[in-house]
Structure 1
């Protein structure tokens, strides 16, 4: 989904005008011309196609307090592109702060509130960075960032929903400058091995795997506090759900695909998020046992902190806001990545098979030449 930046002003967007004028006409129909109070009337079946007339009929305070506050982030951004008046009203920092906190409850943490307000355009900049899926970057033109520009700290703001119900929310800070981080496989764990997060969601165990894939929604926002940048690493919905044959735990995978070093195993890498759940023994309630992030190349190897940091910085600096439904787009990119991975594996097996054949051929040839030399001597 494309988040549109509210800068002046494309007044030819008829879809935006129609949506907003519907809101405005409903408020105009219920407003008394004498005192401005609301009065019940049967809904009208007609919509005023002239947005300027509808806007002029409604006080700006009503628009801001009773209309714009009811819009989600993408609709609010679209509304800001319809007129200069709505652009001004929709640019209010409090509106976008409320949108961020309602979309991602983890952003209500005190440090994140302060950090979001320091972004170039405040909460709007944060939303436009964090809401869209990461766009596919060109691996041939994505240059490695300078070491001095790499973030010294990363903040993860994670929210997990089951349907419309929030079941997990946490903020984790990760330092990125120590030798241990640089050399060890990159991994961010939100829960300790013995921690379990109980939920009130009840599941029949037989349907856990199928239903989790349909109901779980995850957002993993990675923030560079020094650079005032953010990106969402999640595919929004799970790209795969599997049940472990022995433990019965269900592993839901969310992923984003980013380019790395061209011509190598990390030409495309997977930012893989795994959520491990199981049904508790008492009452059949769902439990969250693991939420983790790792970076994996096309050979299935996990990148270390130094290599992962280069990939993550490219994502932070990359373009965002590609159109399309997030669920379908995320799953499509993951399937394309699996296809590239399969093709690479087949190519590697063919190459190894050819090398094995050559080795056997040269071995047999050497053996024959040796005995020919012995017999003819």
Structure 2
């Protein structure tokens, strides 16, 4: 059996048979320990979830907490930290399984008008993992308070590295476009945001980069990941906002790339950076909102980003047309006032 393949929904596991020399063997005759230890442990999260829907026996075996704990820790190495691991075990409706269901798919960027069921969290925990060609190069858990005036009134930004801190990587630095092409194809990033009070989590990364740019002067490469979230319809940040994650890489003395910055910011459709108070409202709704499908996360993330960029372009063009029309009206109004004034002066002179 391929460990990464999804079980076929058309073949119930309790009646599945295999023909070997005329002998028929029922899958249900396998000992549960064999199924759990030698089959289910080889599946990834989506495959294990699909297997649990095949039969009552597999549903029971696939609900074991240690299976989902292993999947969470192998998918996101940052979740092995003591605090995050304890939080995952206390998630309602399934512990690690509930955490995976919340954190694996992307949130749907659909605005909602319903009132929030809870207050915004006083603290946010970020579990971040960066890999290159399936090898982990960076992992960190960052805690961010959200109650002080500094957070609420300042532009929202989460930095994972200190100003002079760097992370070495095995990526070779080249002067051409080979590095950018390699990064956009082989680098992956996961940024899981966790509400430790409400026991909720959401993925804020497109998993694969949506763009890679090289700075013309410094030679640094900026790899951008993004998630498009719904904004508060009643607030100042209407429509959609971009939750942007930027990984800045530079050349080391040995010729390899090194990570120099990993940060998250949020901006609206006018390109304005959101302050902490408005960002917290958006993130709170994303934590409570619906999730998309677990398949094709990379394609879905890039598709949403392209649609967002197109909406920004159309919004900018509409704004420019509106401003242009207002400018014409203002000029016409000024000319009419000027002509009326001189007509009045000429009439009085006569």
1:28-47 → structure 2 map (5 Å cutoff): none
Question: Quick one: distance in 1 between partners of 2:250 and 2:23?
Answer: 50
1:1-377 → structure 2 map (5 Å cutoff): 15-16=8-9, 18=11, 54-120=26-92, 121-137=94-110, 139=111, 141-143=112-114, 145=116, 149-206=119-176, 207-262=178-233, 266-282=238-254, 284-322=255-293, 324-377=295-348
Question: Quick one: distance in 2 between partners of 1:278 and 1:24?
Answer: 56
Alignment coverage as a number of residue pairs: 340
Q: CA deviation at 1:16?
A: 3.3
For residues 110 and 242 of structure 1, do their structure 2 counterparts lie closer, same or farther at Cα, with a shift above 3 Å needed? Answer: same
Q: TM-score, normalised by structure 2?
A: 0.91
Aligned counterpart, 1:5: none
For residues 260 and 143 of structure 1, do their structure 2 counterparts lie closer, same or farther at Cα, with a shift above 3 Å needed? Answer: farther
Structure 1 residue runs without a partner (length 5+): 1-12, 30-43
Q: TM-score, normalised by structure 1?
A: 0.85
Q: CA deviation at 1:20?
A: 6.6
For residues 80 and 324 of structure 1, do their structure 2 counterparts lie closer, same or farther at Cα, with a shift above 3 Å needed? Answer: closer
Question: Quick one: distance in 1 between partners of 2:82 and 2:280?
Answer: 26
For residues 343 and 265 of structure 1, do their structure 2 counterparts lie closer, same or farther at Cα, with a shift above 3 Å needed? Answer: farther
Residue by residue over 1:226-282, the C-alpha shift from the partner in whole angstroms, topping out at 9 and shown as x without a partner, is 000000000110011111111111111111111214496541100111111123231
Preserved CA contact (<8 Å) 2:7 2:50: no
Q: CA deviation at 1:72?
A: 0.4
Residue by residue over 1:326-353, the C-alpha shift from the partner in whole angstroms, topping out at 9 and shown as x without a partner, is 1111111001101110111001101111
Question: Quick one: distance in 1 between partners of 2:26 and 2:332?
Answer: 83
Preserved CA contact (<8 Å) 2:248 2:259: yes
Preserved CA contact (<8 Å) 1:131 1:232: yes
Preserved CA contact (<8 Å) 1:219 1:233: yes
For residues 311 and 285 of structure 1, do their structure 2 counterparts lie closer, same or farther at Cα, with a shift above 3 Å needed? Answer: same
Aligned CA-pair RMSD: 2.5
Question: Quick one: distance in 2 between partners of 1:14 and 1:369?
Answer: 81
SS in 1 for 2:85: helix
Preserved CA contact (<8 Å) 1:265 1:299: no
Write out the 4+ residue segments of structure 1 that deviate beyond 6 Å after TM superposition: none
Q: Which moved more, 1:267-276 or 1:195-204?
A: 195-204
